[in-house]
Amino acid sequence: MFPEPPPHRLDHHSVGRSPPLPKLDFPKFDGENPRLWRDRCEMYFDVYGVSESLKTHFAALNFSGTAASWLHSVECKGRVSDWDQFCTLVCDRFDRHQYQTHMNQFDALKQTGSVEEYYNRFIELSHHILLYNPAYDHVFFVTHFLHGLRDEIRSAITLHRPKDVETASALALLQESELELSKKKFPSKQDNGCSVKSLVKSGYSSDKGKQKSDTKSSEDSKPNDKLDLLKAYRRDKGLCFKCGEKWSKQHQCPQQVPLHIIEELLEVLDHSDGDTSDDGDLCSPVDSSLMALSTASVPTQKKRRTMQLQGFIGKQEVLILVDSGSVSSFISESVVQQQKLSVTPISSKHFVVADGGSVSYSGLVEQLQWWTQGHCFTQDMRVLALGSFDIILGADWLDDHSPMWVHWQQKKMRFMHQGKRIMLQGLKPDTINC
């Protein structure tokens, strides 16, 4: 009989051999992120059991670009064989200003595209910063993330007080989707033809829906075309052509007509051709009887200047009139009802309009929040039955944001808001001759 082989030899052949390691490329280095490169190199050395004498050789063979040129100049003075000394030289050369550079980029980061693009860049810079200072907590990063978001997105999610960046980014993505959806549901008034000026600008007939050729139309026919468009617009909206209120078979025009209805008619019927005043006002002055004045005020013959803006109250798009001749700011009764805004009763007050007539209000929406061109504003608004506009910003709003620079002809205003200088661009009625 043959003797059985020794048990230790069986153990040696059955468990002594380890499975082969997968092939991995050695980390490349071109001068970017030296700390990350060093950590990956040391992990590679541990996996493959690279000896101390070969570590610098492995690393040197995988340098490229400016890093390879720098290493070549260093090794001309003598080869560096110690790994720790090698890493010290690399970090002294390529890591001197990385921390400060990443912090500057992090502080200056703002959302200019989508939320996802902003989030990806934010996370990338956050990881770079944590390599140098791991002590930063969630509060630091969440605060910076919210600060860099666009105003219309940040204002909606700040109230939720997200605890980390992931939660804040998820809320920001939801708000971004809601804003996109609201734009589809409530298209721009200049795009959907709700504004008389946009109808004139696009050259569409509201009766036929076909584009007119304005190259052959004479200058004399322009006022009539605008008047027809105004009639068609009010007919389509079920409004009285004379007073701008809801029309019915029992409708009777009020004795006093809101000043903005008359202003709209004057703009349409004005025959002047691009004449501007010396002080840069776009529109000719309207008669002082059209200004909104309190009964305690004395009407004065001064020029009114106006500018139109498009904005939002919540998800509803609104047409805003900046009116230097209005002593207060107003919001339309219809918008208050649609948005279900809280109205505080106040003592009734009368305002003089159109040729000595008067209108009154008895309600106030306190600290109404609205947006325009990425900026958020709050203002006390008096509730009034308005015609063509949803909001009127009067002298009280202009005083609150003074000093400001206004170019009425170019429809631009610049002023300080929330600690930074901003510019608002008004709507330009290119085809309306004021």
- State both tokens at 49: 């059991």
Give pTM, 2 decimals. Answer: 0.35
Q: Could you tell me which residues come within 8 angstroms of residue 150 by beta carbon, excluding any fewer than 6 positions away?
A: 111, 374
- Res 201: pLDDT: 42
- The residue type at 26: F
DSSP 94-136: HSSSHHHHHHHHHHH----S-HHHHHHHHHHHHHHHHHH-TT-
- β-strand 412-417 against 404-407: which pairing, if any? antiparallel
User: 286 and 164 in contact (C-beta within 8 Å)?
Assistant: no
- Res 41: pLDDT: 92
Q: SS3 for 248?
A: coil
Using only the alpha carbons of the chain, give its radius of gyration: 35
- The residue type at 99: Y
pLDDT tens digits in sequence order for the chain, 434 residues long: 444 455 544 444 445 566 777 888 899 998 888 888 888 899 998 888 889 889 998 899 999 998 898 888 888 888 888 999 898 888 888 877 777 888 888 999 999 999 999 999 999 889 888 888 888 888 899 999 999 999 888 888 887 888 899 999 999 898 888 888 877 766 654 444 444 344 334 444 444 444 444 444 444 444 456 667 677 767 777 777 777 777 787 777 776 666 556 656 655 555 444 444 333 333 333 333 334 444 444 444 456 788 899 899 888 898 998 888 788 888 888 888 888 888 888 877 766 554 445 566 768 888 888 889 888 999 888 888 877 788 988 888 888 888 888 888 888 888 888 888 898 998 876 534 44
- Res 115: pLDDT: 92
- Res 78: pLDDT: 83
User: 264 and 387 in contact (C-beta within 8 Å)?
Assistant: yes
Buried b (16+ CB within 10 A) or exposed e, 197-225: bbbbbebbebeeeeeeeeeeeeeeebeeb
- Res 121: pLDDT: 92
User: 433 and 197 in contact (C-beta within 8 Å)?
Assistant: no
DSSP 187-213: --HHHHT-SHHHHHHHTB-TTT--B--
Nearest to 154 by CA among 118, 130, 188: 118
- β-strand 330-332 against 293-294: which pairing, if any? unpaired
| 306 vs 326: CA distance, rounded Å | 10
Nearest to 262 by CA among 325, 200, 311: 325
